[in-house]
């Protein structure tokens, strides 16, 4: 039975991610955000994130997803109780699709329950289990989710494979009729992908009668337990049917792959697999579905356009014939009068059948229509014998006017259809670009302040004391350069020089990171000095009897100074494979690598308001080719790159000629 697209996590999936999320215990919550579609993002200190979408999923994520905007009441409540709280425990409620996170905040205990089953909720509970906040309050037949009520999970507890017995499986098999996979899924409550994989592993056809499982109940139970144990190893795989992602699993899907020929993409962690499927994968599915709808609508429009064009051509042909008739009638009005008068006399005297052959030019008659057909220069001209030829000219002119009006309406209709087609294609492109921007997976260094110098050296700087500590401990070595603005309160910047001494221009470019994001910007200074040393001159060990605060280091030996680094930073929108990338640095560097850019100096405009304005400015200044891509930028992409309260002094169009990513020197550096 081919798999259906997964829309929410299974109990096996929850078991897998709960095991993985246990590695985050001890971390403190730095903030919580609401996400489009009703999800929640828990940001932990150290840059880790947990995404929780009731009724769908909960796992660690590397994505910073969606517009945050003004927080809804639930988010405000979560922040009130959990900001600064320490994550103490993560567990699965029984074997149900419910993850539970326990937090401690200033001696108070709180519990966050995330239900990923259909119509599931996210609820914040007190240490007594009473509901403080919930994504939805409602009364159901079997339980109530209401502020102050004790939280009750949904009824119908599932048993894990470790709790199942062979007798239970044998009882299901012997007391049921139907296909093996359907009966077992219904009776055990397990997902079809798990049951089918287990049956395939023991050599049974999932679509065969459940009675055929009778002799293999022990083997089936063994495989269900193996699949559960595989889920607990914390790895995941996304299965593809053709190019479209189909599902994500936390076990080795060898039986499914062998039977259906699915393509597999394996991940080292379950959360990475869920990221790839539920964010990028489902977005890809949506794009496929949208593309299908667009294709059908496009086909309809093209058919209408083709029909409109054909109709227009037919009208033009009729108009050409009318014009020809008018010309012929005007040039041969005398001959037509002669045929007209003759036809009337003959009809009265002898009848219709005697007109043709006895009247000049008349080659046919149409008694029912009261018309004769006159040949003029080989052209057949129908003419009423009730109206004289001069009235024929009037009638032809009237028909000509009607045709011209129809042609005008036809042209307008065609233009409207073609405009709709262009709009449909542009809308599809913009949607695709927005989706691509939404799920763009950031490089490891993008969680820091970063830039790539003109000669391709990567420079990264900490955004706070914790990141300063991380930057030095994880990335500084004897072949890399340590930079710091000569002012208290500045990012530590590491330049990936790999033993080379970068040119002066590159050093000054890298120095801007520590200068611009230092307190000097907030102080409104115009410039600041920056010093640099090699990594071998930096130590975390303080002199005897002294103490170093978090993010502080000792620097020994001679310091090299870069004098007068101007506090003037450019923020640009670069393009990389149709993804928008926010880049910063000196104006000349950013201009070369951006579709559009702005230049900032210390000022008085609030960063959050400025970020929204910069998005509009960057899109408006970009060229037609790049504008739809730049419009897909999010405020959250721009805000962290603004040093503080600022003033815009220039908006320009960039060259977009150089990629913004590191060009060399990294040697496959990973995030540690």
- Say how far apart CA 341 and CA 337 lie, in whole Å: 6
Query: Is residue 322 a part of any domain in this protein?
Result: no
5: helix, strand or coil: coil
518: helix, strand or coil: coil
Query: Is residue 23 a part of any domain in this protein?
Result: yes
Q: Which of 244, 266, 257 is nearest to 193 (CA)?
A: 257
Same domain, 104 and 188: no
Query: Is residue 307 a part of any domain in this protein?
Result: no
Q: Tokens representing 33?
A: 């955000």
37: helix, strand or coil: coil
Q: From the CB of residue 166, how many other CB atoms can be counted at a distance below 10 Å?
A: 13
The percentage of residues in the chain with a pLDDT greater than 90, rounded to a whole number, is 57
Same domain, 117 and 171: no
Query: Is residue 427 a part of any domain in this protein?
Result: no
Q: Which residues contact 571 (CB under 8 A, 6 or more apart)?
A: 582, 583, 584, 590, 597, 598, 600, 614, 638, 641, 642
Same domain, 583 and 452: yes
Which is more confidently placed, 93 or 298?
A: 93
DSSP H/E element including 431: helix 389-438
pLDDT category, 83, cuts 50, 70, 90? Answer: very high
Tell me what pLDDT residue 66 has.
47
pLDDT digits (tens, 9 = 90+) for 531-558: 999 999 998 777 766 666 666 788 889 9
pLDDT(243) > 80 = no
Q: Which of 83, 30, 33, 32 is nearest to 634 (CA)?
A: 33
Q: Which of 58-67, 133-142, 260-269 has the lowest mean pLDDT?
A: 58-67
Which is more confidently placed, 413 or 66?
A: 413
pLDDT(628) > 80 = no
- Say how far apart CA 397 and CA 405 lie, in whole Å: 12
Same domain, 130 and 201: no
Q: Tokens representing 39?
A: 């999800």
Query: Is residue 369 a part of any domain in this protein?
Result: no
Tell me what pLDDT residue 451 has.
94
Which of 110, 145, 180 is the last residue before a domain boundary?
145
Q: Are strands 49-53 and 57-61 parallel, antiparallel or unpaired?
A: antiparallel
| 3 state SS for 230-279 | HHCCCCEEEEEECCEEEEEECCCCHHHHHHHCCEEEEECCHHHHHHHHHH
pLDDT category, 478, cuts 50, 70, 90? Answer: very high
Average pLDDT over residues 194-218: 93
- Say how far apart CA 28 and CA 599 lie, in whole Å: 36
Query: Is residue 60 a part of any domain in this protein?
Result: yes
pLDDT digits (tens, 9 = 90+) for 632-652: 787 878 999 999 999 999 999
Query: Is residue 336 a part of any domain in this protein?
Result: no
Q: Are strands 98-105 and 493-495 parallel, antiparallel or unpaired?
A: unpaired
Tell me what pLDDT residue 644 has.
93
pLDDT category, 663, cuts 50, 70, 90? Answer: very low
Tally of CA atoms within 13 A in the half-sphere of 330 that contains its CB: 10
Which of 233, 268, 303 is the last residue before a domain boundary?
268
Contact present, 176 and 183 (Cβ < 8 Å) = yes
Q: Tokens representing 426?
A: 């542009």
β-strand partners of 545? none
- The dihedral sign for the CA sequence 660, 666, 669, 672: negative
50: helix, strand or coil: strand
What distances in angstroms separate CA 98 from CA 17, 523, 625, one per listed residue? 11, 49, 46
pLDDT(432) > 80 = no
Q: From the CB of residue 393, how many other CB atoms can be counted at a distance below 10 Å?
A: 16
DSSP code string of 186-211:
HHH---HHHHHHHHHHTT--TTSBGG
pLDDT digits (tens, 9 = 90+) for 509-523: 999 999 999 999 999
Same domain, 48 and 181: no
pLDDT(67) > 70 = no
- 463 by Cβ neighbours in 10 Å (0-12 / 13-18 / 19+) ranks as middle
CA 235: distance to chain centroid?
A: 24
Same domain, 483 and 585: yes
414: helix, strand or coil: helix
Enter the pTM of the model.
0.54
Same domain, 198 and 141: no
Tell me what pLDDT residue 481 has.
96
- 84 by Cβ neighbours in 10 Å (0-12 / 13-18 / 19+) ranks as middle
Same domain, 597 and 458: yes
CA 490: distance to chain centroid?
A: 35
- Say how far apart CA 584 and CA 450 lie, in whole Å: 8
pLDDT(466) > 90 = no
Domain hosting 99: range is 11-145
Q: Which residues contact 138 (CB under 8 A, 6 or more apart)?
A: 144, 145
Same domain, 648 and 511: yes
DSSP code string of 449-463:
EEEE-TTS-EEEE-S
The percentage of residues in the chain with a pLDDT greater than 70, rounded to a whole number, is 89
DSSP code string of 54-105:
TTTEEEEES---S---SPPHHHHHHHHHHTTPEEEEEEESTTSSEEEEEEEE
DSSP structure class, residue 344 = H
Query: Is residue 202 a part of any domain in this protein?
Result: yes
Contact present, 125 and 63 (Cβ < 8 Å) = no
pLDDT(157) > 50 = yes
pLDDT category, 343, cuts 50, 70, 90? Answer: very high
Residue 26's CATH number: 2.30.310.10
DSSP structure class, residue 281 = I
Same domain, 200 and 130: no
- Say how far apart CA 429 and CA 79 lie, in whole Å: 37
The distance between the two most distant Cα atoms of the chain, rounded to a whole number of Å, is: 138
Same domain, 99 and 193: no
pLDDT(112) > 50 = yes
Average pLDDT over residues 335-363: 91
Which of 268, 294, 309 is the last residue before a domain boundary?
268
What is the pLDDT of the chain when averaged over all its residues? 87
Q: Which of 404, 602, 579 is nearest to 520 (CA)?
A: 602
Same domain, 128 and 176: no
pLDDT category, 668, cuts 50, 70, 90? Answer: very low
Average pLDDT over residues 479-485: 95
Contact present, 22 and 272 (Cβ < 8 Å) = no
Number of domains in the chain: 3
- Say how far apart CA 187 and CA 171 lie, in whole Å: 10
pLDDT digits (tens, 9 = 90+) for 565-620: 999 999 999 887 667 889 999 999 999 999 999 999 999 999 988 999 999 999 88
Most confident option among 46-50, 488-492, 626-630:
488-492
CA 182: distance to chain centroid?
A: 34
- 590 by Cβ neighbours in 10 Å (0-12 / 13-18 / 19+) ranks as buried
Tell me what pLDDT residue 414 has.
86
Tell me what pLDDT residue 205 has.
92
């Amino acid at each position: 039975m081919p798999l259906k697209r997964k829309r929410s996590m299974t109990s096996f999936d929850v078991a897998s991610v709960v095991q993985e999320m246990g590695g985050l215990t001890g971390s403190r919550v730095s903030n919580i955000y609401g996400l489009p579609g009703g999800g929640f993002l828990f940001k932990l200190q150290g840059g880790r994130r947990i995404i929780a979408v009731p009724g769908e999923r909960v796992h660690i994520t590397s994505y910073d997803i969606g517009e945050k905007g003004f927080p809804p009441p639930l988010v405000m409540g979560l922040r009130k109780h959990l900001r600064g709280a320490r994550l103490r425990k993560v567990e699965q409620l029984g074997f149900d699709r419910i993850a539970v996170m326990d937090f401690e905040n200033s001696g108070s205990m709180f519990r966050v329950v995330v239900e990923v089953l259909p119509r599931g909720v996210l609820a914040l509970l007190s240490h007594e289990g009473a509901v403080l906040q919930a994504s939805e309050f409602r009364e159901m037949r079997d339980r109530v989710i209401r502020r102050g009520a004790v939280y009750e999970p949904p009824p119908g507890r599932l048993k894990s494979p470790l709790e199942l017995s062979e007798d239970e499986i044998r009882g299901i098999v012997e007391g049921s009729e139907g296909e093996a996979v359907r009966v077992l899924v219904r009776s055990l409550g397990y997902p079809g992908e798990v049951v089918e994989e287990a049956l395939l592993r023991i050599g049974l056809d999932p679509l065969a009668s459940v009675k055929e499982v009778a002799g293999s109940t022990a083997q089936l139970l063994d495989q269900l337990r193996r699949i559960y144990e595989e889920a607990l190893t914390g790895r995941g795989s996304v299965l593809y049917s053709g190019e479209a992602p189909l599902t994500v699993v936390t076990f080795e899907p060898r039986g499914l792959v062998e039977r259906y020929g699915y393509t597999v993409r394996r991940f080292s962690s379950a959360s990475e697999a869920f990221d790839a499927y539920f964010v990028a994968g489902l977005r890809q599915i949506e794009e496929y579905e949208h593309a299908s709808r667009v294709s059908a609508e496009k086909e309809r429009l093209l058919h209408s356009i083709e029909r409109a064009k054909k109709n227009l051509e037919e009208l033009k042909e009729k108009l050409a014939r009318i014009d020809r008739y008018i010309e012929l009638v005007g040039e041969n009005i005398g001959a037509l009068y002669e045929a007209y008068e003759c036809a009337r006399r003959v009809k009265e005297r002898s009848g219709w059948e005697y007109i043709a052959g006895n009247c000049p030019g008349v080659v046919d008659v149409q008694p029912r229509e009261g018309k004769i057909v006159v040949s003029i220069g080989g052209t057949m001209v129908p003419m009423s014998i009730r109206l004289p030829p001069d009235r024929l000219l009037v009638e032809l002119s009237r028909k000509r006017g009607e045709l011209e009006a129809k042609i005008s309406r036809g042209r307008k209709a065609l233009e409207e259809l073609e405009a709709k087609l262009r709009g449909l294609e542009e809308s599809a492109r913009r949607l695709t670009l927005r989706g691509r921007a939404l799920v763009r997976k950031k490089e490891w260094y993008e969680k820091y302040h970063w830039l790539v110098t003109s000669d391709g050296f990567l420079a990264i700087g900490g955004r706070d004391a914790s990141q300063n500590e991380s930057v030095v401990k994880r990335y500084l070595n004897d072949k890399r350069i340590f930079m710091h603005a000569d002012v208290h309160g500045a990012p530590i910047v590491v330049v990936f020089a790999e033993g080379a001494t970068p040119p002066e221009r590159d050093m000054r470019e890298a120095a801007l990171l520590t200068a611009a994001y230092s307190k000097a910007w907030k102080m409104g200074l115009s410039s600041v000095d920056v010093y640099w040393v090699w990594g071998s001159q930096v130590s975390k060990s303080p002199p005897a009897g002294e103490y170093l605060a978090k993010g502080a280091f000792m620097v020994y030996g001679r310091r090299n100074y870069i004098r007068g680094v101007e506090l003037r930073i450019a923020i640009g929108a670069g393009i990389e494979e149709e993804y928008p990338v926010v880049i910063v640095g000196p104006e000349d560097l950013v201009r070369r690598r951006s579709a559009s850019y702005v230049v900032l100096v210390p000022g008085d405009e609030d960063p959050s308001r400025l970020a929204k304005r910069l998005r509009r400015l960057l899109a408006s200044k970009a060229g037609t080719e790049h504008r739809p891509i730049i419009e897909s930028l999010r405020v959250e992409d721009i805000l962290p790159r603004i040093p503080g309260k600022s003033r815009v002094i220039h908006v320009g169009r960039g060259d977009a000629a150089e990629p913004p990513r590191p060009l060399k020197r990294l040697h496959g550096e990973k995030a540690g």
